[in-house]
Amino acid sequence: MNPKKLLDYFDVAPKQSLGQNFLADPGALAHIVDIAEVGPDDVVLEIGAGTGALTRHLAGAAKRVIAVEVDSRLIPILQEQIASFPNVVLVEADILEVNAGELMQTLAGTETFQVVANLPYYITAAILRRLLENPPRPTRLTLTVQREVAERLAAQPGDMSLLAVSVQFYGRVRVAHRIKAGAFWPTPGVDSAVVRIDTYTDGPPVPVDDERQFFRVVRAGFGQKRKQIKNALAGGLGLEARAVVEALERAGVAPSRRAETLSLAEWTALTAALREHL
Ligand code: SAM
């Protein structure tokens, strides 16, 4: 049954504050499961199960699905929708309050899992941060997000952001598929895209001795928008301009560049050049 009919039947109104735009297009749901390459040995964490449309597609392909949903009004709907799938465990929780690794270990007996989700837009960045910064990381994440966010995640030097650097540090990002706004109910104001992030199992793609220092430098660089990197770093790290310019030159980064133009490798070189001052 489509989400509108289901919600009407259970007399539940969608809550915009929880990012409730339900995917109503069966073709798009099947395509997401294909992009995620979910197979019979896979354990999947689904975030924001909603009315269970994606959950059911996942359950048909995966070994086990742990489906997390924060809205208690949707739990009876979900229970009914997944009743014929014994491989689904439903968890009523706020994903930002749970430790995903512990949850998977407890409910699926493994810390090897992937994430598939049509994410509530308002907490996309917070969820990504939580899942990527805290091991055990998912092996891959297949996420339906606002199209503009998908493009930001996959950005190249020239259009980088703190979010893009943070995500690309942990995984290879690719925008796999676009989904028109009309595929959702209620229809959001913007199109969406499915983005797949394959996390690096052997560490980041660039050599980083100290992850904390790396992110301190990146955060400082992006801290003052549209400023030249030398000013952003001096301000953000509380350093003298002369020391920053010297480090930039040693790292081969022109002091007049802006943070959004730097590659991951350049951020790494810059962190190394600044080390004595951090
Ligand atoms: N998976 C469904 C689908 O594809 O139609 C629903 C997707 S809807 C965009 C996002 C879902 O995430 C909603 O059901 C919402 O209640 C849920 N949600 C919002 N914030 C959440 C949170 N902090 N933790 C868990 N679920 C959340």
- What are the pLDDT digits (tens) for 120-171? 888 999 999 999 999 999 999 999 999 999 999 999 999 999 999 999 999 9
Could you tell me if residue 223 is inside a domain?
yes
In Å, the largest CA–CA distance within the chain is 67
Ligand 1: does its nearest atom lie under 6 Å from the Cβ of 48?
yes
Q: Whose CA is nearest to atom 20 of ligand 1?
A: 18
Ligand 1: does its nearest atom lie under 6 Å from the Cβ of 120?
yes
Query: What torsion, rounded to 10 degrees, do the Cα atoms 250, 252, 257, 258 define?
Result: -80
Do 124 and 238 share a domain, yes or no? no
Do 51 and 167 share a domain, yes or no? yes
d(CA 63, CA 69): 20
* Centre of ligand 1 from the C-alpha of residue 112, in Å: 23
Find the CATH number of the domain harbouring 215. Answer: 1.10.8.100
Do 187 and 246 share a domain, yes or no? no
Q: Whose CA is nearest to atom 22 of ligand 1?
A: 94
Ligand 1: does its nearest atom lie under 6 Å from the Cβ of 260?
no
DSSP, collapsed to helix, strand or coil, labels residue 219 as: helix
* Centre of ligand 1 from the C-alpha of residue 225, in Å: 31
Residue 93, domain extent: 3-199
Provide the residue count of the chain. Answer: 278
Residue 225 has pLDDT above 90, yes or no: no
> pTM for this structure?
0.95
Per-residue pLDDT tens digits for 49-83: 999 999 999 999 999 999 999 999 999 999 999 99
Q: Residue 69 in contact with residue 48, Cβ under 8 Å?
A: yes
